[in-house]
């Protein structure tokens, strides 16, 4: 095992590792952790769940797990449902809000505080905010050493999607900080000052990693949400909070609970039993949302938005090359095939549709206290994964071959496309009745959109969902190609 570590990590100090040396503390990334799991599989012929290793990533503990596995017993990941429920109560100590809720659209208001603007959806929302008629100034919380570095992160992030306009800099401020710190890393004095300055809060900041456990998402996503709620009520000004979550908070509820329809405002506890089968990010979203729901019941002016899988811009094609679907498309083009996954939908929604919906709903004085599913408005408008991959082949004019999932995973291990390496544990580990996490999302429920439909009914000219068709897929692939040319072969030249 020490030899495997040495092949992945930097050489150990003194020439050897101690049993209590920790893989993560030695600088191991989630990508390197995934590589370790692959190396264990190849070296020992053993499937070790990555989440099991995260419980104790010391050399001694990992070696013990492998030794037990060779004897026929691999410890399962722990059941943390009691912990999640307990964590969902940590916002209960916040005092109930008092005073009127600020109307952020007033001419003397319009000052917007945003978290998560360096992310994909956050970048597009920020661009829309900068052009919004009711917004006078925007301040973004950014993890950075100083304001200049923070602004450069925003400029670079938006530049990737061709969103940056130098005119933004005149109305855009940056404060450096961290979601997990009680005062968001600003210090008590600046925290209060920014809370007095702000008219409204948009919270998109989160840690998102599909291979790491809940424990590594807890600080940013659970504690961070409590801290942002505290900010929204601080400064003797009660500000509306718009919290952007995702439908991941329900986990594979269709398979586990038998749910066929999920209502926007139904209790999340109905879906708790599905979460042990999902990744740590989804689990943290359940906890944060359950926490927020309890605060809403106490009068906190919070609106919750749950987008489906957010795809690229419907006109420019600008998309997130680091998300799961972009990585999948690139890997499948390299392999020449894709996995057959019947009855599996991703609820694709273009990012411009998502941000337009959020900002229109957020401008309504009656939006608080509800959740909004931002997904295709009908099942007919949803596209399953098989149809999606067929569209990719049509857009490339080079059809991809659909193969059984197990065959695709076997080929994945041989071809080992770098783009999917960080996600291989999620794709290969069988965790429930011989199925992997991805396979659990067959027969997903319908996500009800009653609140969203009502809130968007007065959208000027109507807000139409662009269909995911060959034309749109060509725009996405063109953007991915352009981005890939900087460091990899474009999709149009990928050879199976």
The string of DSSP codes covering 442-459 is TTPPEE--HHHHHHTTTS
pLDDT at 108 over 50: yes
Of the candidates 190, 91, 175, the residue with the CA atom closest to the CA atom of residue 138: 175
The H or E element containing residue 328 is helix 324-335
Residue 490 C-alpha from the chain's centroid:
25
DSSP string, 320-376: -TTSHHHHHHHHHHHHTEEE--TT-B--EEEHHHHHHHHHHHHTSTT-TT-EEEES-
Lowest mean pLDDT among 82-96, 249-263, 277-291, 336-350: 336-350
Candidate ranges 57-71, 109-123, 334-348, 411-425; pick with highest mean pLDDT: 109-123
Spatial CA neighbour of 387 closest among 291, 474, 468? 468
Return the top range by mean pLDDT from 47-56, 185-194, 417-426. Answer: 185-194
- Nearby residues of 62 by Cβ (< 8 Å), 6 or more positions away: 1, 23, 36, 53, 56
Handedness of CA 463, 464, 468, 472 (dihedral sign): negative
pLDDT tens readout for residues 240-270: 999 999 999 999 999 999 999 999 999 999 9
Residue with tokens 């544990």: 425
Dihedral, 409, 413, 417, 422 alpha carbons, nearest 10: 80
Query: How do residues 448-488 score in pLDDT, each as one tens digit?
Result: 999 999 999 999 999 999 999 999 999 999 998 888 776 54
Q: Domains for the chain: give ranges and CATH numbers.
A: 2-78 (1.10.1200.10), 82-380 (3.40.50.720)
Angle at 327 between CA 354 and CA 405, to 5 degrees: 110
Q: How many CB atoms lie under 10 A from the CB of residue 106? A: 10
| pTM of the shown model | 0.93
Contacts for 186-195: CB closer than 8 Å, 24+ residues apart: 186/141, 191/231, 191/234, 192/234, 192/235, 193/235, 194/113, 194/139, 194/231, 194/235, 195/231, 195/232, 195/234, 195/235, 195/237, 195/239
pLDDT bin (cut points 50, 70, 90) of residue 496 is: very low
Q: Is 174 helix (H, G, I), strand (E, B) or coil?
A: strand
Question: How high is the pLDDT of residue 487?
Answer: 54
CA–CA distance, 485 with 469 (Å, rounded to integer): 24
Please answer whether residues 186 and 146 qualify as being in contact, where contact means their C-beta atoms are separated by less than 8 angstroms. Answer: no
Q: How far is 491 from 481, CA to CA, in rounded Å? A: 6
SS3 430: strand
pLDDT tens-digit readout, 44-78: 988 888 888 888 999 999 999 999 989 887 777 77
The strand pairing partners of 171, in sequence order, are none
pLDDT over 90 (residue 492): no
Q: Is the pLDDT of residue 142 over 70?
A: yes
Do 58 and 19 touch, CB atoms closer than 8 A? Answer: yes
């Amino acid at each position: 095992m020490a030899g495997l570590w040495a092949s992945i990590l930097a050489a150990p100090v003194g020439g050897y590792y101690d049993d209590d040396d920790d893989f993560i503390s030695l600088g191991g990334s989630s990508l390197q952790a995934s590589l370790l799991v692959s190396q264990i599989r190849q070296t020992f012929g053993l499937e070790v769940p990555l989440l099991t290793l995260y419980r104790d990533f010391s050399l001694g503990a990992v070696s013990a797990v492998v030794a037990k596995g060779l004897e026929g017993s691999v410890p399962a990941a722990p059941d943390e449902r009691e912990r999640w429920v307990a964590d969902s109560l940590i916002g209960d100590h916040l005092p109930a809000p008092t005073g009127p809720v600020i109307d952020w659209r007033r001419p003397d208001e319009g000052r917007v505080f945003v978290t998560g603007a360096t992310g994909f959806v956050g970048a597009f929302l920020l661009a829309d905010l900068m052009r919004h008629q009711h917004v006078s100034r925007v301040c973004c919380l950014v993890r950075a050493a100083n304001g200049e570095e923070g602004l450069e992160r925003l400029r670079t992030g938006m530049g990737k999607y061709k969103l940056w306009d130098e005119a933004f800099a005149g109305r855009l401020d940056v404060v450096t900080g961290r979601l997990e710190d009680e005062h968001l890393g600003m210090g008590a004095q600046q925290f209060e000052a920014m809370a007095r300055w702000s008219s409204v809060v948009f919270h998109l900041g989160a840690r998102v990693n599909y291979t790491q456990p809940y424990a590594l998402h807890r600080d940013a996503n659970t504690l961070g949400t409590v801290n942002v709620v505290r900010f929204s009520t601080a400064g003797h000004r009660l500000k509306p909070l718009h919290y952007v979550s995702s439908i991941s908070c329900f986990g594979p509820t269709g398979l586990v609970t038998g749910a066929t329809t999920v209502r926007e405002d139904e209790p999340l506890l109905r879906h708790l039993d599905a979460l042990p089968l999902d990744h740590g990010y989804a689990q943290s979203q359940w906890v944060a949302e359950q926490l927020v729901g309890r605060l809403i019941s106490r009068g906190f002016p919070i609106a919750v938005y749950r987008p489906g899988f957010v795809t690229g811009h419907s006109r420019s094609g600008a998309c997130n090359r680091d998300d799961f679907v972009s990585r999948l498309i690139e890997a499948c083009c390299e392999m020449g095939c894709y996995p057959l996954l019947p009855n599996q939908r991703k609820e694709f929604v273009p990012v411009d549709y998502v941000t337009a919906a959020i900002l229109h709903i957020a401008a309504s004085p009656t939006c608080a206290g509800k959740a909004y599913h931002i997904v295709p408005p009908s099942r007919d408008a949803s596209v399953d994964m098989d149809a999606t991959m067929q569209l990719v082949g049509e857009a490339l004019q080079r059809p991809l071959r659909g193969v059984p999932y197990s065959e695709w995973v076997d080929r994945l291990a041989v071809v080992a496309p770098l783009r999917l390496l960080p996600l291989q544990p999620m794709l290969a580990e069988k965790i429930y009745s011989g199925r992997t996490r991805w396979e659990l999302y067959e027969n997903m429920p319908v996500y009800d959109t009653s609140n969203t439909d009502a809130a968007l009914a007065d959208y000027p000219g109507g807000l139409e969902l662009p269909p995911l068709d060959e034309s749109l897929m060509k725009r996405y692939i063109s953007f991915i190609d352009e981005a890939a040319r900087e460091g990899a072969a474009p999709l149009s030249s990928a050879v199976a």
